[in-house]
Amino acid sequence: MERVLVYIDGFNLYFGMMEADFESSRWLNVYLLAQNLLKPTQQIVGVKYFTSRVTNNPSKQKRQTTYLEALECQGVELIYGHYQSNKVECKRCGHLWLDQNEKMTDVNIATHIIVDAFQDRYDTAMLISGDSDLVPPVRAVHDLFRQKRVFVAFPPKRHNQTVAAAAKGWMVIGRKKLAESQLPPIVTKASGYQLAKPVEWND
């Protein structure tokens, strides 16, 4: 069986789904999604989900925490970046405000995908992202590890021709695969604590 290690750019996937009006799929079991994208000759050896903790919005923080804990219950490994606050000035009126940008996700994915190749943890890396910043590590894997390949599964609305050209195979994740890959309404942790799908995600 071909060993597949899955790397998911959490925000790229989430905002692609939102842009495609797939809000009903937010309670997404990414481990099951990865399984549903495999060929019969492939098996998952790990799923890594790269994200950053939401800040300055308690309700969003609570929903994200519930979701991330539900993913951990499925065996998903979480790797965190962070948000960086930058001052932005309106050039017309001089008003200042803080703009938060998610940082480190692309660097974290690049590091993991190359280190895991070096440690021979996969035959195929499945990358779920359309971020062109990930083209260099994709090319590096193909140049340094000729027997390995990076396959890209683009989130909705995130197809990128540069990424597709660097990959050894690609597809676009459609509504059907997302709908077939949902978590149950209640996810029970090993401790017995129950994680419920956020009410705001029931639309």
Residue 102: which of 51, 162, 41 has the closest Cα? 51
In 64-200, beta strands by DSSP E: 77-80, 82-89, 96-103, 124-128, 149-154, 170-172, 186-188, 194-196
pLDDT tens-digit readout, 7-33:
999 999 999 999 999 999 999 999 999
What are the backbone dihedrals phi and psi of residue 4, each rounded to the nearest 5 degrees, phi first? Answer: -120, 125
- Domain range for 176: 2-201
Tens digit of each residue's pLDDT (9 = 90 or more) over 103-155 = 588 999 999 999 999 999 999 999 999 999 999 999 999 999 999 999 999 99
On whether the CB atoms of residues 196 and 66 are closer than 8 A, the answer is yes
Q: Which CATH number characterizes residue 89's domain?
A: 3.40.50.1010
Count of domains forming the chain: 1
